[in-house]
Amino acid sequence: MALPGLNFDAIKLPLQEKQTVVHELKSNTEWRFEVSFERSIEVKLLSGTAEIFGTELAQNQLEPYVFRGAKAAIYTWHGCKLEVTGSCSVDYIAEETPMISYGNTHFALEALREDAVASNTLGPRVLVVGPANAGKTSLAKLLSAYAYRSGRTPVVANLDPKEGFLTIPGTISASALESIVDVSQGWGSSPITGPSQIPTKLPLVYQYGLEDPDAKPDNFKAIVRRLALSVNNRLEDDSNAKSTGCIIDTAGSMSNGRENYGIIQHIVSEFQVNVLIILGSERLYSDMFRRFSKPGVSILKLDKSGGCVDRDVTYLQQARDTQVKEYFFGSPQSMLSPHSQQISFDEVLIYRVSSESSDFLDSLLPGDDEYTSSSDKIFEKLDEPTSMMQNATLAIVQAEPTDTPETVRDSSVIGFVFISEVDDKRRKIRMLTPMTGRLPKKVLIWGTFPEPVANLLG
């Protein structure tokens, strides 16, 4: 690590107790486990077959799979033996899982894909909805991993800004799954830069900058439209992707009460959704059936897995901090060398996004009418550096400083910077980028989510 003042201690793992246990799993069972962010476990598949959210584990690898800050399950269709080193906060073997119905859903989607190949039409556009922690992301991972294993190229879209899919949170993104998912990292946070054992998947990312799609629905819907347009174009352009279709993950809040269904409606129409999967809620299923049932659209109800766990605020915050850290520093397996540079505040154009009810800039610059936030504004332009930017992660977008706020909002993200220092008197800011080099573009979007990461630099 070349940078003064920066070190990797923040992401080094503490020494763990080397306690090794072998679990023998019968067919159609899963080993569920939770590991805190302060510990890690190593897992080896000794015999049999096993998978994690649809992605197969390799047998007797030299390098074991390492998990930390994880709540997950390793499932086996035919039985297996797992060797686990290190201690979990919770672990048990579950005999009741909804995997047969999830597997059947995959086969039903495969039948639609075969029809699409035969008729050269679009394959299934699958939307997964359900309450918070119903297992939507896990099911989306599983269905896309099974599609990949069947020789398909599914396009996966994440419309839940709370979780970053191949990028940091606060965004929505999509990518074609052309290689396997990293078993330990899941979809992972940051393949935008750096070396990786698994071929890199480059996502298309849009910055939202807030946690809840409802906080600024007009901004959210606008970027969903842009993402859907790109996904639809990709499906038209690539014959394998076209027949495979796409799998879309959503935020739990979108399914939370009728007043929020407008966003689901928008997604259904922009992505031309024709398979709607409702996880873990009879009432939502009935509402969705009434709203969206029509010829050519399948509405499926699936049970929530008993393994799904509620994640508390601290766990979710740690997960977000880890995603931001990994974006800049890489993981212990593949470290990056971030670059720190000081620039003049006047060299960049920063737009601030805050929720409709927020009076952020009113409080920052009292009495200045130009900055009064109003609900119809897309962003607020920042004319003065403020210490509130310290430790924030800002998105660099593919736009020019002369572009309108609409164009900036609708522009894709080319990377992120972390603000490590603000000198408001000298109008200077110091920022960290994952690689050396000058800032490629100078229009940045600063959201309130993810929140500032105070200990990023250790």
Ligand X SMILES: Nc1ncnc2c1ncn2[C@@H]1O[C@H](COP(=O)(O)OP(=O)(O)OP(=O)(O)O)[C@@H](O)[C@H]1O
Spatial contact of 13 and 40, defined as CB atoms under 8 Å apart:
yes
249 Cβ neighbours under 8 A, 6+ residues apart? 128, 136, 137, 140, 156, 157, 158, 159, 160, 165
Spatial contact of 156 and 174, defined as CB atoms under 8 Å apart:
yes
Spatial contact of 223 and 263, defined as CB atoms under 8 Å apart:
no
Q: How far apart are CA 12 and CA 35, in angstroms?
A: 16
x-or-dash string of contact with ligand X, 296-315, rule CB under 6 A: ---------x-xxx-x----
Interface stretch with ligand X, choices 65-73, 258-266, 356-364, 441-449 (CB under 6 A): 65-73
Interface stretch with ligand X, choices 71-79, 104-112, 344-352, 396-404 (CB under 6 A): 71-79
CB of 340 to ligand X, least distance (A): 33
Which tokens in the block code for residue 232? 């639809």
Among 54, 123, 124, 135, binds ligand X (CB under 6 A): 135
Which tokens in the block code for residue 134? 């119903």
Residues contacting ligand X: total by CB under 6 A = 22
Q: Decide if residue 71 touches ligand X (CB under 6 A).
A: yes
Residue nearest to ligand X (CB): 307
Interface stretch with ligand X, choices 129-137, 169-177, 324-332, 337-345 (CB under 6 A): 129-137
Q: How far apart are CA 253 and CA 274, in angstroms?
A: 21
Q: Decide if residue 320 touches ligand X (CB under 6 A).
A: no
- What value, to the nearest 5°, has the Cα angle with vertex 416 and ends 8 and 164? 85
CB of 330 to ligand X, least distance (A): 22
Per CB under 6 A, which of residues 136..165 are in contact with ligand X?
Answer: 136-138, 160, 162
Interface stretch with ligand X, choices 130-138, 256-264, 417-425, 443-451 (CB under 6 A): 130-138
CB of 206 to ligand X, least distance (A): 18
Q: How far apart are CA 207 and CA 223, in angstroms?
A: 8
Interface stretch with ligand X, choices 69-77, 187-195, 225-233, 411-419 (CB under 6 A): 69-77
Q: Between 30 and 182, whose beta carbon lies closer to ligand X?
A: 30
Q: Between 305 and 355, whose beta carbon lies closer to ligand X?
A: 305
Token look-up 């935020």 returns 251
Residue 300 CA: distances (Å) to CA of 126, 129, 262, 287, 290 = 10, 10, 20, 12, 13
CB of 128 to ligand X, least distance (A): 8
Per CB under 6 A, which of residues 235..254 are in contact with ligand X?
Answer: 251-252
Q: Decide if residue 72 touches ligand X (CB under 6 A).
A: yes
Which tokens in the block code for residue 403? 């572009």
Q: Which of 70, 67, 76 lies closest to 95 in space, CA to CA?
A: 76
Question: In 10 A of CB 28, how many CB atoms?
Answer: 15
Give binding residues for ATP as ranges: 30, 71, 133-138
Q: Which residues bind ligand X (CB under 6 A)?
A: 30, 32, 71-73, 130, 132-138, 160, 162, 251-252, 305, 307-309, 311
